[in-house]
Amino acid sequence: MIGSHVWVEDPDDAWLDGEVIEINGEEIKVKCTAKTVVAKTSNSYPKDPEFPECGVDDMTKLAYLHEPGVLQNLKCRYDANEIYTYTGGILIAINPFKRLPHLYDIQVMQKYKGAALGELSPHPFAVADSAYRQMINEGISQAILVSGESGAGKTESTKMLMRYLAYMGGRVSNAEERSVEQKVLESNPVLEAFGNAKTVRNNNSSRFGKFVEIQFDQRGRISGAAIRTYLLERSRVCQVSDPERNYHCFYMLCSARKEDVEKYKLGNPRTFHYLNQSNCIELDALNDSEEYIATRRAMDVVGISEEEQDAIFRVVAAILHLGNVEFSKGQETDASEPKNDKSRFHLKTAAELFMCDEKSLEESLCKRVFVTRDETITKALDPNAAALSRDALAKIVYSKLFDWLVEKINVAIGQDKESKFLIGVLDIYGFESFKTNSFEQFCINLTNEKLQQHFNQHVFKMEQEEYEREAIDWSYIEFVDNQDILDLIEKKPGGIIALLDEACMFPRSTHETFAQKLYQTFKDHKRFSKPKLSRTDFTIYHYAGDVTYQTELFLDKNKDYVVPEHQALLAASKCSFVSSLFPPLPEESSKSSKFSSIGSGFKLQLQSLLETLSSTEPHYVRCVKPNNALKPAIFENNNVLQQLRCGGVMEAIRISCAGFPSRKLFHEFIDRFVILAPEVRNKSGKKDDIAACKKILEKSNLTGYQIGKTKVFLRAGQMAELDGQRGEILGRSATKIQRRACTYMCRKKFVLLKSSATQIQAFCRGQMTRHLYEGMRREAASLKIQKYARRFLKRKAYNNLRFSAISIQASLRALSARNELRSRKRTVAATVIQTHCRRKLANLRYRRLKEAALIIQCAVRGSNAFGELVKLRMAAKETGALQDAKDKLEKQVKELTSSLQLEKKLRVGLFLITLLEVDEFITFPYILK
Ligand SMILES: Nc1ncnc2c1ncn2[C@@H]1O[C@H](COP(=O)(O)OP(=O)(O)OP(=O)(O)O)[C@@H](O)[C@H]1O
């Protein structure tokens, strides 16, 4: 319809959404954001107008379930850092390529503990929890299969699953002895150092498959564990393409502490042929010297002794030196010998490190011994063959070393043979299709075909078989069965592996003859083809896509036999560790064919793995790599879609939604959901069971379910719906029980508190009364004391006052007596003084009077004399008798005054002068003489 919104296919972006602007018969024109696209109506899908902004956490909840809808959902969740999404029971994990620590901390684990799958956001913890609970509740072993292409995040997801299982089933370990789960988790760095390498697809790619089996005891506690590894990529030891790296341990050892580097005669990794074939030596995010220390620490933890560690790294160093031994033509025809001194040095060092004989090492590389019925022939190898022999030795030693490590870790962890259940976690390489695909890809893809079949069987095939068995009404759901591909590869006789083994056993076979044989045998097989332009390649139409394999190295890589010369050489090593890697072969196998097939061995390993898996309840985690740049926040639609298709996720969604993904046996169903219709309880018999199930389903208002012969079949989401209703009722009941329990407990507490309170009160009151009484007593006592004190004080004050009064009186009396005495004395004294004074005054007056009388007398006499004098003077003057008169006067004055004091003399003088107006000049000299 014009104006409606649809999804249309696009070669670049897989799916584009836009508005229909034109319809021409079978074709529609759609206006998308960046361009206008013309597409077939059949290739377009309607867009959900009410698509939730943050998507849905389970694809089966999508209203419009189609490829673009799934993609849109994953993309919008990925953009919001929601990297996990369910597809029914499958967990899709999209690699965030950035750390999201908040998703994995201990609080998150606590949250997921016991929560039903789907109750919380999708998470590996939820998958692990569901597996753990199923194991405990139903007593069935579980398996969690983690798959995805290289770099999709399988190993990281596996670590999360293991951490959660360790959290749930872990024991409290003491400080000295580490628990099983700790040992399992701590063995990771060792396995990663020796089994991981940088590839184009992943900087820390596991180059081996891993199945960790965690064993539990009856009580659900971890009691043991075992690690099984699959098909380590051996060729990497001697062949590295740019920009990849060899196994991490080689670079770590070259960056080890100085004394180790010197001990193993190592140095710059670029000087070693096995490392310098690629330009990539260092990794940004990986510090090799720190990793070396971490690896040694992890080795300590898993119980690898110091001597063993030394031997392990000696072997690693020996491999590097071995790789530097080059060969040139020897003196004999077709013979070879170490090329130069440098090669000889490395050969000698390798022999020293392996602790074997140098000459024997050289011979084991440059010669082959053939034992025929009649004689033993020694054949020299040409330089090329010698180099191949050298590489074969390096590879076999490394792979034996890796196997030894795995075995050692297993011994250190310890298995519980008595264990009742297990949870296996499978972290195995995903489907691979490169430009050149060799034997490794062939084996890896076989694994994925096998696992896909397991998945098919579980999700689809068993589903359909069950529907038929249960005789329920279902429309036939087609699914892609890959049994024919498995037959093509592993059928015995006649499958590709069988033909390869055959070719390996015929000395004259080459990869060309092998390819021809394949073409002949499978020319009509619909899953096999011969590429037109190639004479030795073959293509298999795998479930996940077509892969063309190059057969060149198939024969070599399939041969898993230790060259007897190498075996003999290293078995004779003086180092017990090295010789233990090559224990003597049993008589039989050394006599019979030296060949054993890696392909067949691997096939058997897979068979055993699948047997284990089929005895477990599987859970699936599909890891998806959103881009090839290994960068965060880039979501490449085409890339993701391809992986979803390969992982069978799209098919699973389709089937899951179309069929009945949830089912339960009647009694299980009733046990679980009887709470929804309690009235059906206590009825027995099959008929009753069916009626009870129907009743429960009716009451829960579900439609579209089916009742089989023994089970109830539910459509996608219905189990969750029932669980939700059950949860609600249980929740309500729990609240009721809680309420009762709370009331009971509160009451009990209350009564206890009340009686305690009464007791306390009584006690307090008693105490208080006593205190009061004592207080009062104390008060009374204090009043008495006060009274006495007051009395005492009053008395004391009275006494003081009395005493003071007496003393004052006494002192006053004394004072007045004294004063009286004094006044009397003073009166007497005054009288005496008065008398004395009067006497003195009288005396004085008398004297003065006397003096005055005298003076007056004098004066009178003087004036008389003076008068006489004046008369005399005048007479003298007249008579001349003045002088006589004068003398006379003077004499008289002298006489008069001589007895006088100076003052009186002066007064007389003055008197004379003033009264008598005597010339002072005359008077004074006389007077004063
Ligand atoms: N959940 C995650 N959170 C953060 N980073 C992750 C997560 N999952 C994966 N990665 C990143 O992606 C890288 C590749 O992941 P991982 O090694 O688990 O891939 P893989 O699928 O095991 O690859 P291979 O098959 O090559 O071993 C990790 O080194 C890590 O950087």
Q: For ligand 1, what atom is nearest to the CA of residue 83?
A: 1
Q: Are residues 600 and 462 in the same domain?
A: yes
Place of tokens 């009166």: 827
pLDDT at 79: 93
| 150 given a catalytic annotation | yes
Query: What is the enclosing helix (H) or strand (E) of 492?
Result: none
Q: Are residues 607 and 702 in the same domain?
A: no
pLDDT at 656: 63
For residue 210, report the distance from its CA to the centre of ligand 1, in Å.
15
Q: For ligand 1, what atom is nearest to the CA of residue 153?
A: 18
Q: Are residues 460 and 518 in the same domain?
A: yes
Coil, helix or strand for 47? coil
- Specify the CATH number for the domain of residue 529: 1.20.58.530
pLDDT digits (tens, 9 = 90+) for 608-641: 888 888 889 889 999 999 998 889 999 999 889 8
| 130 given a catalytic annotation | no
Q: Are residues 502 and 604 in the same domain?
A: yes
Given the DSSP bridges, would you call strands 421-427 and 142-147 parallel, antiparallel or unpaired? parallel
Q: Tell me the β-bridge partners of 86.
A: 58, 91
Selecting among 202, 399, 437, 548, the annotated active-site residue is 202
The DSSP call for residue 283 is B
The conformational region for residue 630 under phi > 0 = left, psi -120 to 50 = alpha, else beta, is left
Given the DSSP bridges, would you call strands 142-147 and 617-624 parallel, antiparallel or unpaired? parallel
Ligand 1 atom 16: residue of nearest CA: 153
Q: Are residues 517 and 456 in the same domain?
A: yes
pTM exceeds 0.80 for this model: no
Query: What is the enclosing helix (H) or strand (E) of 628?
Result: none
Cβ–Cβ < 8 Å for 622, 149: no
Does ligand 1 have an atom closer than 6 angstroms to the CB of 451? no
For residue 630, report the distance from its CA to the centre of ligand 1, in Å.
9
Among residues 592, 594, 566, 595, which one has the least CA distance to residue 579?
566
Q: Are residues 610 and 665 in the same domain?
A: no
- Specify the CATH number for the domain of residue 684: 3.30.70.1590
Burial class (CB in 10 A: 0-12, 13-18, 19+), 752: exposed
Does ligand 1 have an atom closer than 6 angstroms to the CB of 156? yes
Give the rounded distance of the alpha carbon of 286 from its chain centre.
Answer: 19
pLDDT at 858: 65
| 432 given a catalytic annotation | yes
How many whole angstroms separate alpha carbon 643 and alpha carbon 645?
5
The conformational region for residue 717 under phi > 0 = left, psi -120 to 50 = alpha, else beta, is left
| 899 given a catalytic annotation | no
Count other C-beta atoms under 10 Å from residue 574's C-beta: 10
User: 491 in a domain, yes or no?
Assistant: yes
pLDDT at 683: 63
Cβ–Cβ < 8 Å for 865, 893: yes
Ligand 1 atom 30: residue of nearest CA: 97
pLDDT at 717: 65
Query: What is the enclosing helix (H) or strand (E) of 233?
Result: none
Q: Are residues 606 and 682 in the same domain?
A: no
Cβ–Cβ < 8 Å for 630, 98: no
**Rounded (10°) CA dihedral 522, 525, 527, 531:** 50
Token readout for 331 is: 């003196």
How many whole angstroms separate alpha carbon 916 and alpha carbon 914?
6
Probe target for ligand 1 pocket from 81, 95, 154, 286, with the most ligand atoms within 8 Å of CB: 95
Does ligand 1 have an atom closer than 6 angstroms to the CB of 346? no
Cβ–Cβ < 8 Å for 482, 449: yes
User: 704 in a domain, yes or no?
Assistant: yes
Task: Please enumerate in sequence order all residues whose Cβ is within 8 A of that of 87, keeping only pairs 6 or more positions apart, or say none.
Answer: 58, 59, 60, 70, 622, 649, 652, 653, 656
How many whole angstroms separate alpha carbon 44 and alpha carbon 6?
6
Ligand 1 atom 14: residue of nearest CA: 151
pLDDT at 474: 67
User: 601 in a domain, yes or no?
Assistant: yes
| 89 given a catalytic annotation | no
| 590 given a catalytic annotation | no
User: 342 in a domain, yes or no?
Assistant: no
User: 63 in a domain, yes or no?
Assistant: no
Q: For ligand 1, what atom is nearest to the CA of residue 206?
A: 27
Q: Are residues 551 and 667 in the same domain?
A: no
Token readout for 837 is: 């004074």
Task: Please enumerate in sequence order all residues whose Cβ is within 8 A of that of 342, keeping only pairs 6 or more positions apart, or say none.
Answer: 324, 326
How many whole angstroms separate alpha carbon 816 and alpha carbon 822?
9
How many whole angstroms separate alpha carbon 739 and alpha carbon 737?
5
Q: Are residues 600 and 688 in the same domain?
A: no
How many whole angstroms separate alpha carbon 754 and alpha carbon 748?
10
Among the candidates 669, 699, 714, a domain finishes at: 714
| 202 given a catalytic annotation | yes
Q: Are residues 698 and 608 in the same domain?
A: no
How many whole angstroms separate alpha carbon 679 and alpha carbon 673?
12
Q: For ligand 1, what atom is nearest to the CA of residue 158?
A: 18
Q: Could you tell me which residues are annotated as the binding site for ATP? A: 148-155
Q: Where are the beta strands (DSSP E) in 382-510?
A: 421-427
User: 914 in a domain, yes or no?
Assistant: no
Domain count, the chain: 2
Q: Are residues 668 and 554 in the same domain?
A: no
DSSP for 797-822 reads HHHHHHHHHHHHHHHHHHHHHHHHHH
Task: Please enumerate in sequence order all residues whose Cβ is within 8 A of that of 596, keeping only pairs 6 or more positions apart, or say none.
Answer: 560, 561
How many whole angstroms separate alpha carbon 819 and alpha carbon 548?
153
Which residues of the chain have a pLDDT value below 50? Answer: 590-592
Does ligand 1 have an atom closer than 6 angstroms to the CB of 96? yes
Ligand 1 atom 31: residue of nearest CA: 97
Ligand 1 atom 9: residue of nearest CA: 153
**HSE, side-chain direction, 13 A CA sphere, residue 390:** 31
| 330 given a catalytic annotation | no
Does ligand 1 have an atom closer than 6 angstroms to the CB of 643? no
How many whole angstroms separate alpha carbon 393 and alpha carbon 562?
8
pLDDT at 686: 61
Q: Are residues 533 and 671 in the same domain?
A: no
Q: For ligand 1, what atom is nearest to the CA of residue 201?
A: 26
Task: Please enumerate in sequence order all residues whose Cβ is within 8 A of that of 894, keeping only pairs 6 or more positions apart, or say none.
Answer: 926, 929
How many whole angstroms separate alpha carbon 580 and alpha carbon 570?
9
User: 531 in a domain, yes or no?
Assistant: yes
How many whole angstroms separate alpha carbon 844 and alpha carbon 847?
5
Among the candidates 684, 714, 744, a domain finishes at: 714
Does ligand 1 have an atom closer than 6 angstroms to the CB of 97? yes
For residue 95, report the distance from its CA to the centre of ligand 1, in Å.
7
User: 502 in a domain, yes or no?
Assistant: yes
Token readout for 154 is: 């399988």
Question: CA Rg, the chain, in Å?
Answer: 64
Cβ–Cβ < 8 Å for 332, 346: no
Which domain range does residue 694 map to? Answer: 660-714
Cβ–Cβ < 8 Å for 32, 17: yes
How many whole angstroms separate alpha carbon 43 and alpha carbon 30?
12
Indicate whether this complex's ipTM tops 0.90.
yes
Cβ–Cβ < 8 Å for 427, 148: no
pLDDT at 345: 94
How many whole angstroms separate alpha carbon 33 and alpha carbon 45?
17
How many whole angstroms separate alpha carbon 841 and alpha carbon 107?
130
Cα 661-662-666 angle, rounded to 5 deg: 145
